[in-house]
Amino acid sequence: MKRFYSLGFLCVISLFSFASEDYSSLRQELNQMMELDQNTLHGKTDLNFETLRVKQANRIREIVSEYGWPTIDMVGKEASQAAWIIVQHADYDKAFQERMLKIMRPLALEGKINPANYTYLYDRTHRPQLYGTQGKCEGTDFIPFPIQDIGNIDNRRLEMKMTTAQAYWEMASERMCGRK
């Protein structure tokens, strides 16, 4: 009987190691996809970015269909971020981005993905935006694109564990617009 329990325990332990193994290879794949995305975007490969982003978005569709959204617990922060960046670059397919946003929102609220990833993708795909993450530089000032219900922007940002809009715009003015 003791041997039976030991065998059962080993089977349970091995199931966890196999699951971990699967996510390890998924993590590696997502990180490689991100590296290729960034290198191609910045002209460090001979690949066509338009072609690559379609191919990689299709792979994210497959991954989400098979595993669900790659959460931080599943694949780590960097690989979860990689999935978001690839979806963000799929601007040619707004319906796909909308489907991913629906999956991402509850995960963002639960802290299973970086909530800012959800907000950036939401604002990138909606006008007016909700979180004030998208805008342009006018001189050294970051000017956000139109914002829906601006009076409640900081409440929405707080829900997503973000700084105030003004703090973000100051940071964006320094980092993106060259303000000293």
Determine if the pTM surpasses 0.95.
no
In the prediction, which pLDDT does 7 show? 43
Which stretch of 14-28, 75-89, 165-179 has the lowest confidence by average pLDDT? Answer: 14-28
Say if 28 falls within a structural domain: yes
Do 24 and 100 belong to one domain?
yes
Domain count, the chain: 2
Do 101 and 144 belong to one domain?
no
Do 63 and 95 belong to one domain?
yes
Do 165 and 94 belong to one domain?
no
Do 157 and 94 belong to one domain?
no
Closest of 113, 30, 126 to residue 79, by C-alpha: 30
Task: Please report, rounded to a whole number, the percentage of residues in the chain having pLDDT higher than 90.
Answer: 87
In the prediction, which pLDDT does 4 show? 42
Do 100 and 59 belong to one domain?
yes
Cα 101 → chain centroid: 10
Say if 164 falls within a structural domain: yes
In the prediction, which pLDDT does 16 show? 41
Closest of 140, 145, 148, 149 to residue 172, by C-alpha: 140
Using one digit for the tens of pLDDT, what is the confidence trace for 91-113?
A: 999 999 999 999 999 999 999 99
Do 115 and 165 belong to one domain?
no
Say if 154 falls within a structural domain: yes
Q: Does the pLDDT value for residue 19 go beyond 70?
A: no
48 CB-contact burial (10 Å; exposed 0-12 / middle 13-18 / buried 19+): exposed
Cα first-last separation, the chain = 72
Sequence-distant (6+) residues with CB within 8 A of 6 are none
Do 102 and 50 belong to one domain?
yes
Backbone angles phi, psi at 51, to 5 degrees: -65, -45
What does pLDDT average to over the chain? 91
Instruction: Determine the residue type at 163.
Output: T
Using one digit for the tens of pLDDT, what is the confidence trace for 149-160?
A: 999 999 999 999
Residues forming a β-bridge with 144: 135
Q: Does the pLDDT value for residue 12 go beyond 80?
A: no
Do 166 and 148 belong to one domain?
yes
Which residues span the domain enclosing 50?
16-125
